[in-house]
Amino acid sequence: MKHLLSKVLPAALLAAAVALMSLAGCSRGLKYDPMDYSPEIQFIDSLRNSTGGPEYPDNVKVPADSLLRSWVGFAERFSAGDYAGAYDFTQEDNNFSNIIIYLRNTTAQYVFFTSAWSDVIFNMKASEDFYREMDDLLNFNLAMVKTVIAMGGEDGYVPPHYTDLLRSMGMIYRLAGDRSVMEGFCDEIYNGYMACGYGDIPSRLAVLYYRVQFLSDYGEADVALQEVRAFKDVVLNECPPDELASSLEVLVQLEDLASNPRTIERSE
């Protein structure tokens, strides 16, 4: 699978992100330079290090060396294209939970889910238990986000990682291959994007992006292409002028995605 960041992350932004990386990984006896690893690992680590404040909260009892070793172990296997090895490594000891703690903030964690972890799962068939565990984890996070929104009252605070979380959940449901779950999650995506202030057309485009990925992955690229072309008429007729160019650009990307599908075998 081609690196996603090479398509969606401008070189200048990646360079700036890498510049944010601290030397924390080189301390405590373990040599670690993110530049030795794949673009996904570099970017995720830059997001992790963009968070100010203490290295870890006071309630984190796992030694920093252990957290870093878990992350480096995954990074080495992933960057070498050893997806099965990367997955197996996360199932040993407490490596998966250590990686999540190491990443420190929700943005880095969700980008990890939707880029590196997505590649790992795409390249091997995960068990039903895995999808169930990921579903539980992400739904717990979703419940917390909705609680925060509900408690925000008139101030209308919406956690900035809400859309990152929705993309992570969409990725897991897409890889699990359950059509009914995919259909049911579309409303969740739309409502979440609307809550974040994206407006009707961008929110519907987020849903369409998710649908096109799912349909293209599972042998229905022709249906996906029809949906993209049908929605182009909606955009031309209903999109605010200041959003038209960017919306049409997204549709071009979706048409290309549907025209060059990858195929995932459905689990029985």
Residues 4 and 44 placed together within one structural domain of the fold: yes
pLDDT confidence band for 16 (50 / 70 / 90)? very low
Residues 188 and 239 placed together within one structural domain of the fold: yes
Q: Find all residues with CB under 8 Å of 112, minimum gap 6, and list them.
A: 44, 99, 103
Q: Could you give the percent of the chain with pLDDT greater than 90? A: 41
Q: Is the pLDDT of residue 21 over 50?
A: no
The last residue of a domain, from among 124, 153, 178: 124
Instruction: Choose between 53 and 266: higher pLDDT.
Output: 53
Residue 84: both structure tokens together: 């099965």
Average model confidence (pLDDT) across the chain: 81
The last residue of a domain, from among 94, 124, 154: 124
Q: What is the pLDDT of residues 184-193, one digit of tens each?
A: 999 999 999 9
Give the separation between CA 136 and CA 139, rounded to whole angstroms. 5
Residues 144 and 199 placed together within one structural domain of the fold: yes
Residues 111 and 166 placed together within one structural domain of the fold: no
pLDDT score at 171: 82
Residues 26 and 83 placed together within one structural domain of the fold: yes
Residues 51-68 have a mean pLDDT of 77
Q: Is the pLDDT of residue 148 over 80?
A: yes
pLDDT score at 263: 61
Number of domains in the chain: 2
**248 alpha carbon, distance to own chain's centre:** 23
Domain span at 219? 126-268
Residues 102 and 187 placed together within one structural domain of the fold: no
Instruction: Choose between 122 and 36: higher pLDDT.
Output: 36
Give the separation between CA 69 and CA 99, rounded to whole angstroms. 9
Residues 96 and 137 placed together within one structural domain of the fold: no
Residues 48-71 have a mean pLDDT of 80
Q: How far is CA 169 from CA 36, 79, 136, in A?
A: 29, 24, 10
Closest Cα partner for 97 from 89, 131, 162?
A: 89
Q: Is the pLDDT of residue 76 over 90?
A: yes
Give the separation between CA 137 and CA 147, rounded to whole angstroms. 16
pLDDT score at 17: 39
Burial of 104 by CB count in 10 Å (0-12 exposed, 13-18 middle, 19+ buried)? buried
Residues 179 and 254 placed together within one structural domain of the fold: yes
pTM exceeding the 0.85 threshold for the entire prediction: no
Residues 85-105 have a mean pLDDT of 91
